[in-house]
Amino acid sequence: MASTQSIDAEKAREFAVKTVRKLREANFISYWAGGCVRDHHLQVRPKDFDVATNALPDEIQELFGKKRTLAIGASFGVITLIGSKEQGNIEIATFREDESYTDGRRPDKISFSTPEADAHRRDFTINGMFLDPETMETLDYVGGLTDLKARQIQAIGDPAERFEEDKLRIFRAIRFATTLNFQIERNTLDAVCRHVDNLNQVSRERILVELEKTLSSQHRLRGIDLLCETGILPYVLPKTNAEAKAILLLKSVLAQLPANKLALTFAAIYHILSPELTATDIRRTIKSMKTSNEVAESAFWILQHITQLISASTEFWPKVQRTLVHPLASDTLAFAKAIVLTTKTDPSGIQFCEEKLALSPENLNPPELLSGADLIELGMTPGPAFSKVLKQVRDQQLQGKVNSIEQALELAKTTYQSMGQ
């Protein structure tokens, strides 16, 4: 499927209109469904469109052609219509009713049905509406428009039943309340709190999708509050402690950091809510959440260097310099600054780093005076001593004690000899 970054909202919309029109020209009922209808009413331009119809999966494939469709979800009445990179794909689902659920995710059996029955099988009222893209009329069998106006998340029918059907819906209620900045209707919220344990049965991969959306939202501080109030926090962020003082500190720090950097967010959460864990423990925990290696390793690097930047003015400059020229330096410094400002501790280390980062690239990170080839020319044998000699020369250069190639060569010789080489 095309990534949402490459999808053009207008081209995706045109594609979705044409899809409905083509189904109707073949005498089928057809509407937009779900999230794109919600977004339309919230005046957000959707990039992701779902279509609902009374056409059966085989009829959908016959109409659009097997080369343009994927039947991966056909057993649940869903056919994927393949669009261009700019259009994105469209899921076309046959109106259906779901029977029992035993795996807490998918129905054991479905039966094809009516638009009204289809609406009642969905998760929340705001996701249970249909829209005619030609007349722009909304079909609302579940009170979705009322809840949109009231800015609330409400399960369709009995919330306990909805959460038993697909246990991830427990967390999705929090995610929607966060990203949309809505309240959660009282009965729905009560059911979330009662069914929290069921999240243990949901795969880490599925939880991570919702967690990323929650933590990257502009309203993520509200999301943190909801995770704590409902008791969901340790289920989706393992080994964290929702102690009130730490949560206040975390929210203050996160308010000062960009929301679109997951590694930085994870580093902040675990540094503050899991102070007893080492950086290595935290890396292992983040990896267990099925994040990418890049996210886990980036969070690990930030956690390894945060303390150094806070006390940078009293640290060995060559060590600090190596940190400041790293690609994650600005994120780590932003985190360090947020902690210092929030806890009202000594800001001199932060000021020192900011002054250094204001230098020109040549002054902050001057070209190295020597390379391995230079050491070979001096008659040194390649081996472990090489890196030690080069590091000693570089440290002295960064401290301003070695300023020319001649001085660097002389220091390299004496260092090499002092190592008994």
pLDDT of 217-246, one tens digit each? 999 999 999 999 999 999 999 999 989 999
Give the C-alpha separation, 312 to 315, whole Å. 5
Residue that is last in its domain, among 129, 150, 171: 150
CA distance 378 to 413: 8
Is 248 domain-assigned?
Answer: no
Q: Check whether 103 has a pLDDT greater than 70.
A: no
pLDDT reading at 213 higher than 60: yes
Q: Which pLDDT band, with edges at 50, 70 and 90, does 382 fall under? A: confident
Q: How far apart are CA 396 and CA 415, in angstroms?
A: 12
Question: 100: which 2 tokens?
Answer: 């029992």
- pLDDT interval class at 146 (50, 70, 90): very high
Q: Specify whether 218 is located in the same domain as 300.
A: no
pLDDT at 73: 82
Same domain for 8 and 51? yes
Indicate whether 325 and 379 sit together in one domain: no
Same domain, 41 and 171: no
Range of the domain at 162: 152-236
Across 212-221, average pLDDT: 97
Q: Minimal CA–CA distance to 170: which of 215, 201, 138, 136? A: 201
pLDDT at residue 47, rounded to an integer = 83
Q: What are the tens digits of pLDDT across the range 332-342?
A: 999 999 999 99
- Total tally of structural domains belonging to the chain: 4
What distance in Å separates the CA atoms of residue 405 and residue 415, rounded to the nearest whole number?
A: 15
At residue 104, the pLDDT reads 63
pLDDT at 373 over 60: yes
302-350 pLDDT, tens digit per residue, is 999 999 999 999 999 999 999 999 999 999 999 999 999 999 999 999 9
The residue behind tokens 């996701």 is 127
List of residues 6+ apart from 228 with CB closer than 8 A: 242, 247
Number of neighbouring beta carbons within 10 Å of residue 310: 24
6 and 145, same structural domain?
A: yes
Residue at a domain's end among 100, 117, 150: 150
Please count the residues of the chain: 421
Residue 216, pLDDT score: 96
Give the residue-averaged pLDDT of 125-154. 97
Q: Which amino acid is at 122?
A: R
Find how far residue 54's CA is from the centre of its chain: 35
- What phi and psi, each to the nearest 5 degrees, are found at residue 62? -65, -40
Q: Are residues 138 and 24 in the same domain?
A: yes
Look over the chain and give the mean of its residue pLDDT values, rounded to a whole number: 93
pLDDT for 51 beyond 70: yes
168 within some domain? yes
pLDDT digits (tens, 9 = 90+) for 105-115: 677 777 899 99
Q: Are residues 312 and 269 in the same domain?
A: yes
Q: By C-alpha distance, which of 349, 359, 351 is closest to 309?
A: 349
Does position 1 have pLDDT exceeding 50, yes or no? no
Q: Global pTM?
A: 0.89
**Is residue 245, in this structure, part of any structural domain at all?**
no
Average pLDDT, integer, range 159-169: 94
Whether residue 78 sits in one domain with residue 197: no
Q: Strand (E) positions, 88-156?
A: 90-94, 96-98, 110-112, 130-131, 138-139, 152-153
CA dihedral 62, 65, 69, 72 (to 10 degrees): 40
CATH code, 161: 1.10.110.30
Tell whether the torsion through CA atoms of 72, 76, 81 and 82 is positive or negative.
negative
Of the listed ranges 106-115, 293-302, 407-416, the least confidently predicted one is: 106-115
Residues 45 and 124 in one domain: yes
What is the mean pLDDT of the segment spanning 341-361? 96
Backbone dihedral angles phi then psi of residue 96, each to the nearest 5 degrees: -150, 165
Q: What pLDDT is attached to residue 3?
A: 53
pLDDT at 76: 85
221 and 279 both lie in a single domain: no
Please indicate, yes or no, if residue 9 is contained in any of the structural domains.
yes
**Do residues 281 and 358 both lie within one domain?**
yes
User: Could you tell me if 352 and 399 lie in one domain?
Assistant: no
pLDDT digits (tens, 9 = 90+) for 246-294: 999 999 999 999 999 999 999 999 999 999 999 999 999 999 999 999 9
Numbers of helices and strands, H then E, in the chain:
22, 11
Structural domain contains residue 241: no
**Domain containing residue 65: CATH number:** 3.30.460.10
